[in-house]
Structure 1
Amino acid sequence: MTELPHTRTRAVHWLATAAALAAVLGGTALLHPATATPAPGTGAVGRAPDPDRARYPLHCGPAGTRTDVLDRAAADFDGDGTAETVAVVRCRARGGTPPSAVFVLSRTADTGRPRIAATLVEQREGMSVRDLAVRGTTLSATLLGYSSADVPRCCPDKRRTVKWEWREGKFALRPGPVAGGGVSV
């Protein structure tokens, strides 16, 4: 029995199949259905405030020094149908690691502009904030700090994972154990 020409696979067939599959997967990664709804607890209920448009109470030195939003997350913490934004912010620096601050932003009722609703970590505490995450109405982050003024600002030697839970109209802090010695952050 003779094989039909279209039943034999060749490299060109595999390449064409791979290219078609890549195009389909790439297209589905870029396109979302118009009826898609956010997964529960993702905080995408109402449009969250843009942290790049907020004004932060940071002391950044010379006039004109800007702030950088290092991380952001959104959730509807208070259950009002509008998402709040959590922003990790610090002063822009050309070198070194300036301390971070963590703010929760909501929208003003009259203009809809971002406003600070809560401050979770203040700049004056001298910490860096990493690994910001939101799960439901709980925020978590890793705080990095220094045991003394002799520790170079590039290399924090204290580390603590913390969680803030939204309870009774405010954020309640739940600190984890301190890593790196007995001095807490």
Structure 2
Amino acid sequence: MQHPAVPELAHTHTRPIHWVATATAVAGVVALSAVLQPDAATAAQAAGPETRTAHAAPAPDPEAADFPLECGPVKAVVVKKATGDLDGDGNPETVAVVHCDAPMGTPPDGVYVLTRGTGTERARVVATLVDPKTRQTVEEIAVHRGEVTATLLGYSTDDVPRCCPDVTDHATWTWKDGAFLRTTPAGARSV
């Protein structure tokens, strides 16, 4: 029998004490990592009219509102909506585009601003941006940085068929001094 050139090393054989030492070291690392946590994340979005706070109420539900719209035997339907903080109070409002659910034709739209009711009160209309009496329809509606923007379709004369609007109007409303002001002139239209 030939003897190895290097004598047998004592640490090449595992013994129970080695397993205990390894388990103790792993447990120490886990315990230390539980105690030493990284700081909380500090990235934050800049404050602005659309920024929601942690305590902000949800946006008002337009399906639960009564609109000042006379529809006769048919009901009023919400066809578009947009939400955002329009008055800078940290709570979102809802802008709803609503018309009568007419079986034929193109019913005119109304554009209403809703706010949350107090307590158990339903969402309520606080402003009318577009009255259905103007006989316009809303192609697009959006809320961005506290402004309401809309693309409105209308008619240049009473002779234009109500199926085919021929006037496009771009409108913007901003909350200022307790009211919504239309900041895009009503006459800025394209035919």
TM superposition score normalised by structure 1? 0.70
The answer to whether residue 125 in structure 2 is matched with residue 116 in structure 1 is yes
Q: Which residue of structure 1 aligns with residue 70 of structure 2?
A: 59
Q: Which residue of structure 2 aligns with residue 137 of structure 1?
A: 146
Instruction: Compute the displacement of 1:41 (Å).
Output: 5.1
Query: Is the Cα contact below 8 Å between 1:160 and 1:175 reproduced in 2?
Result: no
Instruction: Compute the displacement of 1:153 (Å).
Output: 0.7
The answer to whether residue 59 in structure 2 is matched with residue 48 in structure 1 is yes
Q: Which residue of structure 2 aligns with residue 178 of structure 1?
A: 189
Q: 1:132-181, CA deviations, whole angstroms, 9 ceiling, x for partnerless residues?
A: 0111111100111112221111101111101001222221102252101x
Equivalent positions of 1:76-91 (< 5 A) are: 76-91=85-100
Query: Is the Cα contact below 8 Å between 2:50 and 2:146 reproduced in 1?
Result: no
Q: 1:112-137, CA deviations, whole angstroms, 9 ceiling, x for partnerless residues?
A: 41100111001111110121011111
Aligned partner letter, 1:99: P
TM superposition score normalised by structure 2? 0.68
SS at structure 1 position matched to 2:151: strand
Higher strand share: 1
SS at structure 2 position matched to 1:175: coil
Instruction: Compute the displacement of 1:46 (Å).
Output: 2.4
Structure 1: which 5+ residue stretches go unaligned? 1-36, 181-185
- CA distance in 1: counterparts of 2:85 and 2:50, whole angstroms: 8
SS at structure 2 position matched to 1:70: strand
Instruction: Compute the displacement of 1:98 (Å).
Output: 0.3
Q: How many residue pairs get matched?
A: 142
- CA distance in 1: counterparts of 2:155 and 2:51, whole angstroms: 33
SS at structure 2 position matched to 1:61: coil
